[in-house]
């Protein structure tokens, strides 16, 4: 492992294959860099850079949070500050309706209204042209507003099968590339055929392409398919078991840890001499947590939970404060999702007590190629079709409807620490931070992790 440094800067660890620079540190950060501090406490994440696609970035990536949580405003703050920001393509027609006043959801519901209340959803499908239009509208508007040295990426979930897994995924990916997205992160699935779907697109070798994995085994499967078409990923996000939302593990998630998985992935890439950027994700709460991941061979880190409560986040304000007030006991990993993946969320999520009729005619994002969904089956088999007034948590939830209503309060394991980071409001209380404040706290925060964001207020 190479170490990039100069005589006045702390060490910044990066893998051998990544170039690194150590830019002059801001004066306020330098003032906190006491000569008496131990070496391991003197480095700041803001001193580091990593290279991807021939460009250098701050090693901080804001992950894509759906539905409508990762707003363009949030993602663009990361771009402005020199990192990488993600949009999410989860339920984009519904998101674009809210943001831009379009009528994609209303149009689809009107088209299939006669099918509402019927179990057979085989006649319900998305209009591919409308999916492409919604994606282009969302991405193009954000691309046009880009300012700064960073990059704008899109998180794309394979598990959004939408009744036509290959057809809808191809349209979503190609429309994002048409609209000028800088990179695409493939998530929520193995994506074994995803690259082949877009290999003929003119920007296939231009856009930065990566995948989220939670095991070396999953990565090997993806790389095997990628080699067949001669296009390896540009980056790999290794997501550990402390992440929020859907997890890439089974019920044994607690038996895994991020550092071990990162070590396995980094070691394998070195053995195979593959120059692919590795980004760690899941439970990274501070700049010092991030530096620990860089010391293991990662080039950058991806974070999300702390940005979910920022002013730029699309979450309603009352939900943000529910995150802030959360305790460790308020967090649960359950099987609520019809996708089959475990999900981490707050126990107080309204979706846990939901009694919502399947809304496939308006949404239907989790219908598989046979027009089936685990929630749809549960509803019509009686698990959810009775006792509609009950407050008893159900086995599954209508994820489309409840995510659209911000009723699924997904969060990382570290959510209970959010309150300790809030800045003061000037009158003895606390306020929600801006994305810039959180971003800079990752880059230049107190190495001891004891000082709240109020220092930047």
pLDDT of residue 47: 94
The kind and range of the H/E element at 400 are helix 399-404
* Cα→Cα distances 187→82, 166, 194, Å: 23, 15, 11
Asked if 10 and 47 count as a contact pair (C-beta separation under 8 A), the reply is yes
CA dist 71 to 24, 39, 139, 413, Å?
31, 38, 11, 22
Q: Residue 426, class by beta-carbon neighbours within 10 Å (0-12 exposed, 13-18 middle, 19+ buried)?
A: exposed
Look at residue 250 in the predicted model and tell me its pLDDT. Answer: 87
Integer angstrom CA distances of residue 195 from 226, 232, 387: 7, 9, 45
Give the whole-angstrom CA distance, residue 41 versus residue 59: 18
CB 66 within 8 A of CB 74: no
CA 343 to chain centre: 13
CB atoms within 10 A of CB 7: 4
- The confidence score (pLDDT) of residue 378 equals 86
In this prediction, residue 382 carries a pLDDT of 67
The token duo for 332 is 């649960």
Q: Is the pTM of this model over 0.85?
A: yes
How far apart CA 67 and CA 374 sit, in angstroms, is 20
Query: Cα separation of 137 and 39, whole Å?
Result: 48
Report the Cα 10 to chain-centroid distance in Å: 30
**Element (DSSP H or E) covering residue 303:** strand 300-303
- Could you list the pLDDT tens digit for every one of the 457 residues in the chain? 332 323 333 334 343 333 333 333 333 333 322 223 333 444 799 999 999 999 999 999 999 999 999 999 999 999 999 999 999 999 999 999 999 999 999 999 999 999 999 999 999 999 999 999 999 999 999 999 999 999 999 999 999 999 999 999 999 999 999 999 999 999 998 899 999 999 999 999 999 999 999 999 999 999 999 999 999 999 999 999 999 999 999 889 999 999 999 999 999 999 999 999 999 999 999 999 999 999 999 999 999 999 999 999 999 999 999 999 999 999 999 998 999 899 999 999 999 887 788 999 999 999 999 999 999 988 888 644 444 434 444 678 899 999 999 999 999 999 999 999 999 999 999 999 999 999 999 999 865 443 445 433 3
| Cβ neighbours for 313, distance < 8 A, ≥ 6 positions apart | 65, 69, 70, 71, 74, 307, 320, 435
Residue with structure tokens 């009950």? 390
What is the CA angle 349-161-237, rounded to 5?
A: 70
Cβ neighbours of residue 303 closer than 8 Å, sequence gap 6 or more: 60, 61, 62, 63, 281, 284, 285, 290, 442
Residue 437 sits at φ, ψ, to 5 deg, of -65, -45
Residue 206 structure tokens: 């231009």
Q: What's the number of CA atoms in the CB half-sphere (13 Å) around residue 204?
A: 15
Q: What are phi and psi of 170, to 5 degrees?
A: -60, -45
103 half-sphere exposure, CB direction, 13 A CA radius: 5
Other residues' Cβ atoms within 10 Å of the Cβ of residue 417: 16
Beta pairing partners, 155: 88, 185
CA–CA separation, 228 vs 436, rounded Å? 41
């Amino acid at each position: 492992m190479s170490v990039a440094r100069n005589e006045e800067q702390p060490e910044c660890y990066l893998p051998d294959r990544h170039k690194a620079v150590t830019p002059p540190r801001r004066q306020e950060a330098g003032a906190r860099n006491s000569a008496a501090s131990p070496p391991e406490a003197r480095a700041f994440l803001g001193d580091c850079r990593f290279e991807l696609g021939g460009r250098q970035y701050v090693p901080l990536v804001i992950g894509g949070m759906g539905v409508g949580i990762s707003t363009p405003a949030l993602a663009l703050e990361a771009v402005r500050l020199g990192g990488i920001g993600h949009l999410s393509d989860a339920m984009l027609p519904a998101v674009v309706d809210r943001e831009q006043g379009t009528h994609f959801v209303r149009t689809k519901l009107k088209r299939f209204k006669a099918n509402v209340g019927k179990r057979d959803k085989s006649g319900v499908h998305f209009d591919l042209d409308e999916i492409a239009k919604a994606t282009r509208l969302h991405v193009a508007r954000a691309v046009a507003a880009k300012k700064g040295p960073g990059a704008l990426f899109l998180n794309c979930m394979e598990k959004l099968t939408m009744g036509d897994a290959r057809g809808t995924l191809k349209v979503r990916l190609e429309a994002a590339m048409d609209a000028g997205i800088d990179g695409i992160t493939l998530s929520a699935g193995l994506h074994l055929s995803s690259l082949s779907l877009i290999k003929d697109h003119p920007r296939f070798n231009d856009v930065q392409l990566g995948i989220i994995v939670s095991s070396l085994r999953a990565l090997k499967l993806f790389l095997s398919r990628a080699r067949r078409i001669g296009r390896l990923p540009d980056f790999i996000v290794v997501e550990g078991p402390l992440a929020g939302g859907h997890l890439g593990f089974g019920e044994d998630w607690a038996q895994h840890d991020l550092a071990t998985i990162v070590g396995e992935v980094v070691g394998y890439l070195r053995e195979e001499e593959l120059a692919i950027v590795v980004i760690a994700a899941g439970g990274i709460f501070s700049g010092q947590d991030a530096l620990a991941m860089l010391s293991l061979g990662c080039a950058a880190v991806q974070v999300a939970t702390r940005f979910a409560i920022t002013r730029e986040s699309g979450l309603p304000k009352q939900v943000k404060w529910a995150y802030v007030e959360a305790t460790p006991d308020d967090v649960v990993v359950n099987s609520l999702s019809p996708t089959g993946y475990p999900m981490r969320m707050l126990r107080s999520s309204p979706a846990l007590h939901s009694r919502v009729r399947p809304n496939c005619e308006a949404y239907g994002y989790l219908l598989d190629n046979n027009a089936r969904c685990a929630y749809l089956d549960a509803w019509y088999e009686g698990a959810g079709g009775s006792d509609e007034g009950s407050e008893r948590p159900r086995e599954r939830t209508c994820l489309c409807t409840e995510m659209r209503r911000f009723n699924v309060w997904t969060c990382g394991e570290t959510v209970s620490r959010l309150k300790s980071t809030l800045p003061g409001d000037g009158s003895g209380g606390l306020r929600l931070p801006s994305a810039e404040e959180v971003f800079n706290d990752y880059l230049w925060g107190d190495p001891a992790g004891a000082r709240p964001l109020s220092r930047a207020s």
